[in-house]
Every structure is written in structure tokens, then in C-alpha cells.
């Protein structure tokens, strides 16, 4: 699994390439909140620039509950993209 955050996209692209080179066949990309768009970009950067046969095997969205204080809860959306080469 690669958790996509706010760093430059190429960091996550490189992380995925490393995993594929180690023999992984599938990688789960996961991102929360504002980083969700980064996550989609990473998937398509991989497909466009590195693995033209890359398949988007599954996409899931949902929300995590993040407990802030004792009684306050916040909801954060997430996306999970399963890619396979």
C-alpha cells in the first residue's frame, strides 16, 4: 500500500515503481481529504508515463472517523485505488 499525501506526486510515483520492480503485481493507493486528487493524479501519471498497460482494478471511496477531542468527531473522506500492471 502506498499512502498518498501532500508531497510532490513524483515521490509517490517513484514509491510505486519501486514496489513494482520488487515484484508486486498490485498496489493499493490510499489518500484522505485534500490529497484525494493527488492520488488520482498518481494513478494516471503511472499509467501515462511508465506502465501503459496499468489497469485500475478497483476504486473505493468512504469516510474515516477521526476523533479530535473527547467528544468531537470529524469525518474525513478517503479514496482507495487498486492498480495492477
Footprint of a copy of itself on this chain (CB under 8 A)? 33-37, 40-41, 43-44, 48, 56, 59-63, 75, 77-79, 81
CB 18 → a copy of itself: shortest distance, Å?
A: 22
Query: Closest CB to a copy of itself among 18 and 75?
Result: 75
CB 14 → a copy of itself: shortest distance, Å?
A: 19
CA dist 28 → 9, 18, 68 (Å): 16, 14, 27
Backbone angles phi, psi at 31, to 5 degrees: -150, 155
How many angstroms separate the CA atoms of 17 and 32, rounded?
21
Query: Closest CB to a copy of itself among 11 and 48?
Result: 48
Query: Closest CB to a copy of itself among 21 and 52?
Result: 52
How many angstroms separate the CA atoms of 12 and 38, rounded?
9
Amino acid at each position: 500500500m502506498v499512502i498518498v499525501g501532500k508531497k510532490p506526486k513524483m515521490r509517490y510515483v517513484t514509491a510505486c515503481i519501486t514496489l513494482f520492480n520488487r515484484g508486486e503485481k498490485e498496489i493499493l493507493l490510499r489518500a484522505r481529504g485534500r490529497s484525494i486528487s493527488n492520488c488520482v493524479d498518481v494513478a494516471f501519471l503511472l499509467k501515462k508515463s511508465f506502465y501503459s498497460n496499468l489497469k485500475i482494478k478497483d476504486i473505493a471511496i468512504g469516510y474515516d472517523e477521526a476523533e479530535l477531542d473527547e467528544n468531537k468527531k470529524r469525518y474525513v473522506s478517503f479514496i482507495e485505488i487498486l492498480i495492477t500492471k
